[in-house]
Chain A
């Protein structure tokens, strides 16, 4: 079969690979009908996430049709079922899964020993990601083996198109969880840094969850126009002061809730000098991530507010003003997404027409064009915000 394979920094190729095989009685194999390139795929593309290996298949946003089912998954899945595959692999049986903390499933990371050493305790296995999270082959491929498939799936209603359903596996619940983590109240201003696909979903989620005011911060005009379409007030940080605008919009008090949908690769620009320092440190391996957004959120957030982090961080950050955060009494909430915790509610909301996540798709291409689309997405060319690939 064909698959998009990581060969090194910025080196993705559409390769011929062997077909996946059932390994365990809880496995299933799907024929991928749609998959997408995620912003966090770019962190792998740039080799900022450690423990990738040449030959790893990319992709953790995918859906498809079940073509083979292991004996112990047959009670939940059958051939022909249309499913979205959550990016977090879950056993559904461990203590964490029982609590709904699916992204920290205790059993699905097949390289648990490695994760235990690096993280202290393992987190869930993830598709198409680092070997710290299991090194599972990803879904930017024609076929995908789904481990623990009886638990790791979201059934797609017939009424839903691929484009409406695909993002249930990652970016929609990721944006949703970030907004839920904010405990939004009717008088709240929610400020969201980053208007990429997850930021766009976080904006819609904050609106649906009842924020009085949603403010979106980015520098790319087309992303800001999509944010405004979703009901956000926009701030272009290249032309405006984020601190001044947020104070204007909140009577000088700052937003109660802040969401970081940027993560470790904050835009580097002379207008934000700390980003230059971070970039230099990153080049010299003195820190792995560029945490400008974290610093700015901690500064602008109203005392007693909540900082919600859904953007991906990989390792070490420097010059974080913890004294400021502590004295302001800020609450930090973060984590990979507990996709299945939110799935039923989000499926219902899509079916009821409350939200249609397909709005974010700007490019659709064949799987073979994947390597070029990584470049287009990375370079934000052709007004690209979200790429869907059709194997």
Chain B
């Protein structure tokens, strides 16, 4: 049990139940992973936004500061979407962003005095891309609705004497509750 749960007991009255021990959470591993990626995305985005110049320098990409800041905004938006109640579009947008990042770094490789840094960054992006793809597939498996019509509930009228009888009832006894 975490400290917040213990602290919240202050708001309860003496007769209210208090947590003794906790069970498994509705929040499964892919959900936790999406949240982790969301916070990572926001952190990276802030770095790209506010430290674009030093990033550009370390990647030998001077002159691309504006582009890096733009990528930072994209990362923050993706991160916020990852932290929402439906993180799938957020993580999917990260994969699209990863592709853009890889393409940008590949384009920066030739004749780059900081080639080794760029290679390292490429490796990191590819690693995170694997995590993003894994997370999306696990989230979809856990939260997706199978395609198809679903169950047929057309026999569940809720009127033991049938719909027509319920309609007749209202005609006999006028509305008003």
Partner-B contacts on A (CB < 8 A) = 1, 3, 5, 7, 9-23, 27, 45-46, 53-57, 110, 131, 135, 137, 141, 145, 176, 180, 183-186, 200, 204, 207-211, 220-223, 225-226, 228-231, 283-284, 342, 345, 353-357, 359-360, 362, 368, 371-372, 374-375, 379-381, 383, 385
Nearest B residue to A226 via CB reads: B153
B111 contacts chain A at the CB level, 8 A cutoff? no
Q: A13–B26 Cα gap in the complex (Å)?
A: 6
Cβ-defined partner of A356 (8 Å) among B9, B85, B145, B160: B160
22 contacts between A and B (CB under 8 A): A5-B19, A7-B2, A12-B25, A13-B23, A13-B24, A14-B23, A15-B22, A15-B23, A16-B20, A21-B15, A54-B8, A141-B17, A183-B175, A204-B159, A211-B170, A222-B151, A222-B152, A231-B157, A354-B161, A357-B158, A359-B158, A379-B145
* Chain A contacts for B21, CB-based, 8 A: 15-16
Nearest A residue to B86 via CB reads: A268
Cβ-defined partner of B17 (8 Å) among A20, A355, A380: A20
Q: A360–B158 Cα gap in the complex (Å)?
A: 8
Count of chain B residues with a beta carbon within 8 Å of a chain A beta carbon? 57
**Sorted from nearest, which 5 A-B pairs have the closest CB atoms?**
A210-B170, A371-B26, A383-B151, A359-B158, A226-B153
* Chain A contacts for B154, CB-based, 8 A: 225-226, 228-229
* Chain A contacts for B63, CB-based, 8 A: none
A21 and B170: CB pair below 8 A? no
A231 and B166: CB pair below 8 A? yes
* Chain B contacts for A184, CB-based, 8 A: 175
* Chain A contacts for B149, CB-based, 8 A: 221-222
A226 and B156: CB pair below 8 A? yes
Q: A10–B27 Cα gap in the complex (Å)?
A: 6
Known: A13-B25, A208-B170, A229-B157. A221 touches B150 (CB 8 A): yes
A5 and B22: CB pair below 8 A? yes
Within 144-177 of B, Cβ neighbours of A (below 8 Å) are at 144-146, 149-161, 163, 166-167, 169-171, 174-177
Partner-A contacts on B (CB < 8 A) = 2, 4-6, 8-9, 11-28, 31, 80-81, 84-85, 142-146, 149-161, 163, 166-167, 169-171, 174-177
17 extra A-B contacts, CB within 8 A, seeds A55-B5, A210-B171, A355-B166 = A7-B2, A10-B26, A10-B31, A10-B85, A13-B22, A55-B6, A137-B16, A186-B171, A204-B166, A208-B169, A210-B167, A229-B157, A353-B161, A354-B166, A356-B158, A356-B159, A383-B150
Cβ-defined partner of B26 (8 Å) among A185, A226, A374: A374
Known: A20-B17, A176-B177, A356-B158. A220 touches B150 (CB 8 A): yes
A225 and B163: CB pair below 8 A? no
Q: A355–B170 Cα gap in the complex (Å)?
A: 12
Known: A180-B177, A354-B169, A372-B26. A359 touches B143 (CB 8 A): no
* Distance between B110 CB and nearest chain A CB, rounded to angstroms: 39
A354 and B22: CB pair below 8 A? no
B174 and A204: CB pair below 8 A? no
* Chain A contacts for B157, CB-based, 8 A: 229-231, 359
Q: A374–B28 Cα gap in the complex (Å)?
A: 12
Q: A53–B12 Cα gap in the complex (Å)?
A: 10
A14 and B24: CB pair below 8 A? yes
Q: A221–B81 Cα gap in the complex (Å)?
A: 28
B15 and A22: CB pair below 8 A? yes
* Chain B contacts for A3, CB-based, 8 A: 17
* Chain B contacts for A200, CB-based, 8 A: 158
* Distance between A214 CB and nearest chain B CB, rounded to angstroms: 10
* Chain B contacts for A14, CB-based, 8 A: 23-24
Q: A228–B155 Cα gap in the complex (Å)?
A: 9
B25 and A11: CB pair below 8 A? yes
* Chain A contacts for B81, CB-based, 8 A: 283
* Chain A contacts for B15, CB-based, 8 A: 20-23, 27, 145
A20 and B163: CB pair below 8 A? no
A20 and B16: CB pair below 8 A? yes
* Chain A contacts for B161, CB-based, 8 A: 353-354
Cβ-defined partner of A354 (8 Å) among B16, B19, B28, B159: B159
* Chain B contacts for A183, CB-based, 8 A: 175
Q: A207–B26 Cα gap in the complex (Å)?
A: 38
A15 and B19: CB pair below 8 A? yes
* Distance between A304 CB and nearest chain B CB, rounded to angstroms: 18
* Distance between B90 CB and nearest chain A CB, rounded to angstroms: 10
B26 and A55: CB pair below 8 A? no
Most buried by A among B80, B167, B177: B177
Q: A11–B151 Cα gap in the complex (Å)?
A: 28
* Chain A contacts for B143, CB-based, 8 A: 375, 379, 381
Q: A56–B14 Cα gap in the complex (Å)?
A: 14
Cβ-defined partner of A222 (8 Å) among B13, B24, B153, B155: B153
* Chain A contacts for B145, CB-based, 8 A: 379-381
